[in-house]
Amino acid sequence: MAVGTIWAVVEPSSGGAATNGLELLRGARELTSTIGAVTFGDASGAAETLGDHGASTVLTVDTGNAMAGVPVAAAIAAAVEARGADGPTAILLPQTYEGRDIAGRLSVALDAPVLANVVGLEERDGRLVAEHAVFGGSTIVKAAFTTDRVQLFVVRPKTFVAEGGAGGAGAVEALPIPDTGRPGATTVVARHAEERIGPKLDEAPVVVSGGRGLGDKERFAMIEELARLLKGAPGASRAIVDAGWVPYSYQVGQTGKTVKPNVYLAVGISGATQHMVGMKGAKKIIAINKDREAPIFGIADLGVVGDVNKVVPKLIDALKSR
Amino acid sequence: MHVAVCVKQIPDPAAPGRLDPETKTLVREGKFVMDDSDSYGVEMALQLVQAAGGGAVTAISMAPNNEIKGVKDALAMGADSAIVVSDPALKGSDALSTARVLAAAVTRAGDGAGPVDLVVTATESTDGYTGTTPVQLAALLDLPAVTFVKKVVCDGSKVTVERQTDEGYDEVESTLPALVTVTAGVVEPRYPSFKAIMAAKNKPCHVVGLADLGLDASQVGFAGARQEITEVLAAEERKGGDIVEDDGDAHLRIVSYLESLKVI
Ligand SMILES: Cc1cc2nc3c(=O)[nH]c(=O)nc-3n(C[C@H](O)[C@H](O)[C@H](O)COP(=O)(O)OP(=O)(O)OC[C@H]3O[C@@H](n4cnc5c(N)ncnc54)[C@H](O)[C@@H]3O)c2cc1C
């Protein structure tokens, strides 16, 4: 049981701590009782929430207007080195834009390898073993480090379920940022939020995703409308992200987001293994596809063999008239 | 302007993958192609050099087995030359070792065609998708990095970038030299003409070994990865349910199903 201290990187989201960070704290709780949350931005003000989710200490990094990756990694690396044997044995990072930036920098600063795309963590004979879903989720590969360096795990959101009730507010400690030199020379000059109403893709109870079967970019409006009517979030297959119909942030799957909504609607999506690995965890799946042989029907709880241009407009009208 | 673009050569991504029963790593065999995700980086590199009024694009790749087919794809698109690091010892390399090798190759590119102003990579490879190599590469080169980039404008010594975020995008400024990772779908990769494919055959493609770059075999490959696969198992399967043909009223089935789930 010698897992030691675990740190989890918790990024900011909508004025507080991101859910994917709280999920990491839950994962850490299953493994150890000494947990530090490393925060930046608005997440630093969430000591109470973080404590409630299991963090005994909250280590804050003031990144200002810099991109988070370099300063956060530099602060963590300095703190790890200063603490020596009292420092963390493992650091969990979310597989997100910032989480990956921090992981890459940290790996070089600490000369520590990284295990990414982690979908489960367990302790086996005193060492941490990470689970990875490969080949579209049909195979699980477990891997562990063979070095005594700090273990860096980049964990896919939705791997653990966030849960409060673990304790009081964490003790806050500011981590100084050492001089970051040339790599630190990035400044966020403006943030642009796209008009998006409704819940976030990876937190929405309902996700409606569109694929190439929609036929053209304009028809993605049907997906947005359907998502709005179901108080859900619109998502997409990679085919239409690569085609430039919607931004990358909509992508569900191996190289996009993992979603675990109560209901997932796949509209004009074939069900490639790389797509399914990102949505197979949904409680219920509804698929609309004109090809009866489409693999998506193999995992759909309700499959409709039909033309999206016929079924979806009628579905929208029926929902509107309720 | 000199842009170095990293290009991974991978087996046909449509072919079903399998693990080597002994090493438990991905079997990489068959005909190799340039990773599609890298075609966006190559296209962006070409456009940036053109916008700058000239310069060079160097394709950088690493392969355990003298593979250059995928790099030829980048040369056919318009890259001027390529450096391929090839060494049997590279087999089994993890993300950090890969970054170490690519860093040495980018440095070599700078010795050849003049200092590198910008390194361009994909956000992650199609076959390995660890997604940390680009930033590790930037760290090893002591460069700033802007990841998940949709748009890049270079202006002398600085670069302005639109970076994808969950909410929309950030406008980020960085000094040059720098590294950017390009999101798929943000530019339209060009199709090489027959003439360009033929011309690519005569473009310089330098294949170098680890020793040429001053790297040691213990830093890369299985030895350098410092991680091991402990177990491989089959995942639980999910079963399908009702399938109905649309007779004009299938939408009502969906409505009643959503009602039964209390979504509406
Ligand atoms: C390494 C790797 C990573 C990948 N990562 C991802 C990922 O993260 N996410 C992802 O989604 N994909 C990913 N992919 C791509 C994936 O393999 C598929 O190419 C992609 O998911 C296909 O998208 P699609 O279902 O929209 O398109 P298609 O496969 O072209 O399917 C379109 C479907 O629409 C149906 N259709 C057509 N017209 C109609 C109509 N009028 N009405 C009803 N149905 C219609 C067709 O029957 C077909 O089934 C990855 C691939 C690789 C190799």
Domain borders along chain B are: 2-224
Flag whether A191 is in a domain: no
Q: Which token pair is A144?
A: 């562990």
Residue A14: closest C-alpha in chain B: B167
Pairing of strands B2-6, A127-134: unpaired
Distance between CA atoms of A267 and A219, rounded to whole angstroms?
11
Q: Provide CB contacts within 8 A for B14, sequence distance 6+.
A: none
- Same domain for A14 and A125, yes or no, is yes
Half-sphere exposure of A70 (CA within 13 A, CB side): 25
Mean pLDDT of B56-63: 96
Does residue A50 carry a pLDDT above 80? yes
Cβ distance B165 to A191 less than 8 Å, yes or no, reads yes
This complex has an ipTM of: 0.93
Does residue A2 carry a pLDDT above 80? no
In terms of Cα–Cα distance, which of A243, A237, A299 is closest to A267?
A237
Residue with CA nearest ligand 1 atom 36: A213
Q: Which of A185, A216, A236 finishes a domain?
A: A185
- pLDDT (tens digit, 9 = 90+) per residue, A269-318? 999 988 998 999 999 999 999 999 999 999 999 999 999 999 999 999 99
| Contact criterion met (CB below 8 Å) for B71 and B194 | no
Query: What separation in Å is there between the alpha carbon of A240 and the centre of ligand 1?
Result: 8
- Same domain for A165 and A214, yes or no, is no
Q: Which token pair is A120?
A: 């489960």
Flag whether A227 is in a domain: yes
Residue B26 is predicted with a pLDDT of 80
Touching check for B14 and chain A: CB below 8 Å?
no
Cβ contacts below 8 Å, chain A against chain B, sum to 270
| Mean pLDDT rounded to a whole number for chain A | 95
Name the packing angle between helices A220-229 and A308-320 (round to 10°): 30
Cβ distance A143 to B229 less than 8 Å, yes or no, reads yes
Q: Provide CB contacts within 8 A for B120, sequence distance 6+.
A: B3, B4, B5, B6, B41, B42, B44, B45, B179, B180, B181, B182
Residue A76 is predicted with a pLDDT of 98
- Same domain for A118 and A228, yes or no, is no
The letter for the amino acid at A159 is T
Residue B134 is predicted with a pLDDT of 98
Q: Which token pair is B64?
A: 């355990």
Residue A137 is predicted with a pLDDT of 82
In terms of Cα–Cα distance, which of A282, A273, A20 is closest to A134?
A273
The letter for the amino acid at B119 is V
Helix/strand/coil for B156: coil
- pLDDT (tens digit, 9 = 90+) per residue, B124-167? 998 888 999 999 999 999 999 999 999 999 998 899 999 998 88
Question: Where does the pLDDT of residue B261 fall: very low under 50, low under 70, confident under 90, or very high at 90 and above?
Answer: very high
Give this prediction's pTM: 0.91
**Residue A191 burial by Cβ neighbours in a 10 Å radius (0-12, 13-18, 19+):** middle
How far, in Å, are A185, B70, B227 from residue A188 at the CA level? Answer: 10, 35, 35
- pLDDT (tens digit, 9 = 90+) per residue, A197-242? 789 998 899 999 999 999 999 999 999 999 999 999 999 999 999 8
Choose the residue to mutate in B126, B183, B251 for probing ligand 1, maximizing ligand atoms within 8 Å of C-beta: B126
Q: What proportion of chain A, given as a percentage, has pLDDT over 70? A: 99
Does residue B231 carry a pLDDT above 50? yes
Residue A1 is predicted with a pLDDT of 44
Residue A254 is predicted with a pLDDT of 87
Name the packing angle between helices A97-109 and B95-113 (round to 10°): 80
CATH number at residue A107: 3.40.50.620
- pLDDT (tens digit, 9 = 90+) per residue, A111-160? 999 999 999 999 998 899 999 998 878 889 999 999 999 999 999 999 99
Residue B130: closest C-alpha in chain A: A116
Residues flanking ligand 1, CB < 6 Å: A 211-213, 215, 237-240, 251-256, 268-270, 272, 274-275, 278, 289-291, 294, 307-309; B 13, 126
Q: How many CB atoms lie within 10 A of CB B209?
A: 14
Residue A44 is predicted with a pLDDT of 93
Distance between CA atoms of B219 and A192, rounded to whole angstroms?
42
Flag whether A193 is in a domain: no
Q: Which one of B119, B142, B251 makes the best mutation probe of the A interface by having the most chain A beta carbons within 10 Å?
A: B251
- Same domain for A262 and A155, yes or no, is no
CATH 3.40.50.620 matches B2-224: yes
Distance between CA atoms of B141 and B136, rounded to whole angstroms?
9
Residue B122: closest C-alpha in chain A: A255
